[in-house]
Structure 1
Amino acid sequence: MQKLKRTDLFTLEAYAAERTAFRALVLAHKHDRKVALGEHVSLLFEDRLTIQYQIQEMLRIERIFEAEAIEEELDAYNPLIPDGGNLKATMLIEYEDVEQRKVALARLVGIEDHITVTVDGHPPVRAIADEDMERSNETKTSAVHFLRFEFSEAMVAAARAGARVEFASSHPAYLERTELAGATRTTLLADFD
């Protein structure tokens, strides 16, 4: 996927006019890009459109319109767009109750280093987590992590040929597995085109 350039973005004024329709488009687009890993962890697989939305929202919230500042946002977010040999995801740890979330984030320290993808016939591949900065310390983890899953050409070929694809957490406090299926499988495999 091509990285975003300044010319791909709406101006603040144009985005204000298009935001409602653009947001609806992106939310519908995200539906087949989300993988639930158990009850409390989800992986939202990013692509060019989801990242454009994140950038547009940052520009809107921060009222950024200077070229240099826009380039800084592009530099920060473009690495989250997959580049043909990988999938990139925002991992969300979700607990509605604030106190329950605090306890869980303390219990799940290091979970980002225990997330894998397995294509049948190939060894599991551990996600590369938080390349931009550490989001965990010895007492708690963050509710948001950024993951990169590197696939070999053989893994992509096997998945396209129908091999089972499974995401998993091997963290001792959160053992979960989810098979990639249906429209989500089709959508994510298209990211390798």
Structure 2
Amino acid sequence: MVRVERSEILDFLTYADRRDAIRASAMAAKDLRRVHLGEHLTLLFENRETIRYQIQEMVRAEQMVRESDIQHELDTYNAVLGGDGELGCTLLIEITDAALRPVLLRRWRGLPGHLRLTFTDGSRATARFDDTQMDGERLSSVQFLRFPVGDRVPAGLVVDLPELAASTPLSPATRRALLEDLGRPPAEA
């Protein structure tokens, strides 16, 4: 996955002028890459466009002008993309009941190791969680994951933690988008 470069990031005033069009395009890209898995898990597979949008939003919100601050955002968000042959994604653990949220995030601490991407050849890849987003007691409700893909074709997602157990196929449009993100012809989908 090609990283977002500093030259692609607009100053916050120029971005404000173009924000509506950039946002509409980024939301369309996110819609193709958003997958609901059961009642509580939503995965958003990231690509250059979604990451560039996130960086632009941070630059705008913080009105960043220091190059070191902008570079920090580039480094942080580019890391979410994953490396060659990987798909990076943001996992949202959605628990609407604020009182129940900390209880469930403690109970579901074992989620790493139980979330997998499935492939058309029948194989599976376990998500790699970012250890800095967890402590010894609970998960964060937002996680950054990477799935090793290699030359396989993504087909679906499965979670086998008993309390969250679910599976879902990827839509043909999502499969095509992920293959494009991996730099492969969408005809494989």
TM-score, normalisation: structure 2: 0.88
Could you list the per-position Cα deviations for residues 12-36 of structure 1 after superposition, in whole angstroms to 9, with x for gaps in the alignment?
1101111222222211221110111
Query: Equivalent residue for 1:179?
Result: 169
- Superposition pairs for residues 27-66 of structure 1, below 5 Å? 27-66=27-66
**Aligned counterparts of 2:66 and 2:133: Cα–Cα separation in 1:** 29
Q: What do you get for the CA RMSD once the two structures are aligned?
A: 1.7
Deviation at 1:83, TM superposition (A): 4.4
What displacement does 1:149 show?
A: 0.5
Q: Deviations over 1:81-136 (max 9, x none)?
A: 25441111100001222123222212211313321112143432111111xx5222
CA spacing shift, 1:117–1:139, aligned 2, 3 Å:
same
Determine if contact 2:128/2:147 at 8 Å carries over to the other structure: yes
Bigger drift between 133-142 and 88-97 goes to 133-142
Q: Which residue in 1 is equivalent to 2:18? A: 18
1:9 aligns with 2:9: yes
CA contact (8 A) 1:107 1:173 kept: no
Query: Which stretches in structure 1 are left out of the alignment for 5+ residues?
Result: 160-164
| Percent of residue pairs identical | 38
Aligned positions, number:
183
Rounded Cα–Cα distance in structure 2 between residues aligned with 1:142 and 1:103: 12
CA distance, structure 2, for counterparts of residue 185 and residue 63 of structure 1: 36
Residue 76 of structure 2: aligned partner: 76
Greater Cα offset, 96-105 or 24-33: 96-105
